Amino acid sequence: MSEGRRWFGTDGVRGCVGKGPMTPKFALKLGWAAARVLRPEGGGVAVIGKDTRLSGYMFESALEAGFAAAGMNIRLLGPLPTPAIAQITRSSDAAVGVVISASHNPSEDNGIKLFGSDGRKLPDSIELEIEKMLAIPMKTVAGELIGQAQRMEDARDRYVSFCKTTLPATASFAGLKIVLDCANGADYAVAPRVFRELGATVVAVAAQPDGHNINDGCGSTHPEHIREAVCSHGADYGFAFDGDGDRVVAADSEGRIYGGDELLYVIAMERAARQALQGPVVGTVMSNLGLEQALARAGIGFERTQVGDRYVLERLSRTGGILGGENSGHIICLDCASTGDGIVAALAVTHRIVTSRTALVELCRPLTMRPQVLLDAPLNGRGRREVMNDVALAQAVAEIEARLGENGRVLLRPSGTQPLIRVMVEGADKTVAMACAEELRAAVETAATR
Residue 79 belongs to domain spanning:
13-153
Distance of CA 18 to the CA centre of its chain: 24
Same domain as 243, residue 177? yes
Is 1 within the bounds of a domain? no
Same domain as 149, residue 24? yes
Mean of per-residue pLDDT scores for the chain:
95
Same domain as 138, residue 27? yes
Same domain as 38, residue 138? yes
Is 346 within the bounds of a domain? no
Is 181 within the bounds of a domain? yes
Question: What distances in angstroms separate CA 194 from CA 89, 172, 214, 225, 302, one per listed residue?
Answer: 20, 11, 21, 21, 31
Amino acid 1: pLDDT: 45
For 394-423, what is each residue's pLDDT tens digit?
A: 999 999 999 999 989 999 998 766 789 999
For 51-84, what is each residue's pLDDT tens digit?
A: 999 999 999 999 999 999 999 999 999 999 999 9
User: Which of 111, 127, 153 is the last residue in one of the domains?
Assistant: 153
Cβ–Cβ < 8 Å for 213, 237: no
Q: Can you state the percent helix, strand and coil of the chain, rounding each to 5?
A: 40, 20, 40
Is 348 within the bounds of a domain? no
Across the range 282-301, mean pLDDT stands at: 97
For 326-373, what is each residue's pLDDT tens digit?
A: 999 999 999 999 999 999 999 999 999 999 999 999 999 999 999 999
Is residue 140 exposed (0-12), middle (13-18) or buried (19+ Cβ within 10 Å)? middle
Is 87 within the bounds of a domain? yes
Judged against a pLDDT cut of 80, whether residue 176 lies above it is answered with yes
Query: What sections of 11-138 are H helices per DSSP?
Result: 24-38, 55-69, 82-91, 124-134
What CATH number did the domain enclosing 437 receive? 3.30.310.50
Same domain as 181, residue 200? yes
Amino acid 6: pLDDT: 85
Is 289 within the bounds of a domain? yes
Q: What is the pTM for the complete model shown?
A: 0.93
Cβ–Cβ < 8 Å for 178, 237: yes
Active site residues: 103
What CATH number did the domain enclosing 162 receive? 3.40.120.10
Same domain as 144, residue 167? no
CA distance linking residue 73 with residue 145, whole number of Å: 10
Number of domains in the chain: 4
Amino acid 416: pLDDT: 67
Is residue 231 exposed (0-12), middle (13-18) or buried (19+ Cβ within 10 Å)? middle
What's the Rg (C-alpha) of the chain?
22
